[in-house]
């Protein structure tokens, strides 16, 4: 039996579903991952399928993921158990790529477009990437690691602050995703803890002090709808 999400409100209202990827192989090993393209662990695969069961009855018209494989795997696994029989179709936005064009309108109608975007990537951790988190604390000091991980403006060596991550995520959200939502589309965004934080910050008008305290579990759907011009969270 599928464990579907119970949501309130008018079923005709379209929704924005946010989903952090399942556990990755480096999450399991407690290693800073950032932009390193690491796949899901066995547990992450199971988490993704469970997430898919939770949202199995919710309509999804478009999917957006980061350019990293762990977010793409999570989206595809989740949609593999969705009740919608349409297939997610990864779209290449390069106009020179002609091979993937569909010449059948019927087949086109059986696909759910999936767009990948580097703007939705995890925060870049620079020189911390590939380091075990405990060893990083021994090398840099626990307080410094905590400042980098939980500060809004703090930047790891050759890395990216949460503020800088926000400055690439939110414009993409407004310019590439919101126009579809406001046309009535139901959208799934599958990304990362530190690229979903800016989205939730924007939707819920969180301060920078509040957003750094926000914990987003792996493969737990956050479901938003809009009423009278204001976002509200239905689940998550």
Where does the pLDDT of residue 2 fall: very low under 50, low under 70, confident under 90, or very high at 90 and above?
Answer: very low
Determine, yes or no, domain membership for 111.
Answer: yes
> CA 4 → CA 16, 71, 165, 196, 210, distances in Å?
16, 21, 32, 22, 29
Determine, yes or no, domain membership for 1.
Answer: no
d(CA 124, CA 164): 10
What is the DSSP-derived secondary structure letter of residue 24? B
Alpha helices in the chain (DSSP H): 25-28, 42-54, 69-80, 105-109, 133-140, 142-150, 162-172, 178-181, 193-204, 208-211
Determine, yes or no, domain membership for 15.
Answer: no
Determine, yes or no, domain membership for 18.
Answer: no
For residue 18, the surrounding DSSP H or E stretch is strand 16-20
Determine, yes or no, domain membership for 216.
Answer: yes
Coil, strand or helix at 121: coil
Chain centre to alpha carbon of residue 208: 20
What is the DSSP-derived secondary structure letter of residue 29? T
Q: What's the pLDDT tens digit per position in 174-195?
A: 999 999 999 999 999 999 999 9
Where does the pLDDT of residue 236 fall: very low under 50, low under 70, confident under 90, or very high at 90 and above?
Answer: confident
End-to-end CA distance of the chain: 21
d(CA 221, CA 226): 17
Determine, yes or no, domain membership for 10.
Answer: no
Query: Domain of 187: which CATH number?
Result: 3.40.50.1240
Determine, yes or no, domain membership for 136.
Answer: yes
CA R_g for the chain: 18
- Look at the chain and report how many structural domains it folds into: 1
Which domain does 77 fall in, by range? 23-95+105-235
- The catalytic residue positions are 21, 122
Q: What's the pLDDT tens digit per position in 96-139?
A: 555 555 544 555 678 999 999 999 999 999 999 999 999 999 99
Determine, yes or no, domain membership for 83.
Answer: yes
The pLDDT of residue 164 is above 80: yes
d(CA 21, CA 49): 11
Predicted pLDDT of residue 3: 46
């Amino acid at each position: 039996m599928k464990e579907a999400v119970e949501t309130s409100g008018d079923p005709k209202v379209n929704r924005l579903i946010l989903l952090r990827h399942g556990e990755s192989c480096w999450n399991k090993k407690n290693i800073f991952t950032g932009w390193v393209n690491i796949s899901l662990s066995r547990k992450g695969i199971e988490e993704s399928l469970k997430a898919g069961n939770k949202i199995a009855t919710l309509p999804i018209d478009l999917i957006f993921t980061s350019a990293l494989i762990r977010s793409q795997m999570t989206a595809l696994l989740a949609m593999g158990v969705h009740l919608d029989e349409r297939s997610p179709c990864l779209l290449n936005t390069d106009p020179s790529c002609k091979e993937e064009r569909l010449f059948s309108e019927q087949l086109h109608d059986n696909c759910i477009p999936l767009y990948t975007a580097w703007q939705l990537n995890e925060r870049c951790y620079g020189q911390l990437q590939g380091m075990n988190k405990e060893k990083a604390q021994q090398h840099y000091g626990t307080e410094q690691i905590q400042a980098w991980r939980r500060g809004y403006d703090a930047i790891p060596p050759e890395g990216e602050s949460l503020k800088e991550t926000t400055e690439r995520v939110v414009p993409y959200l407004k310019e590439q995703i919101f126009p579809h939502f406001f046309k009535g589309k139901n959208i799934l965004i599958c990304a990362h803890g530190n690229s979903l934080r800016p989205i939730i910050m924007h939707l819920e008008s969180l301060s920078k002090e509040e957003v750094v305290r926000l914990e987003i579990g792996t493969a737990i759907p956050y479901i938003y709808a809009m009423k009278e011009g204001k976002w509200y969270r239905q689940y998550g």
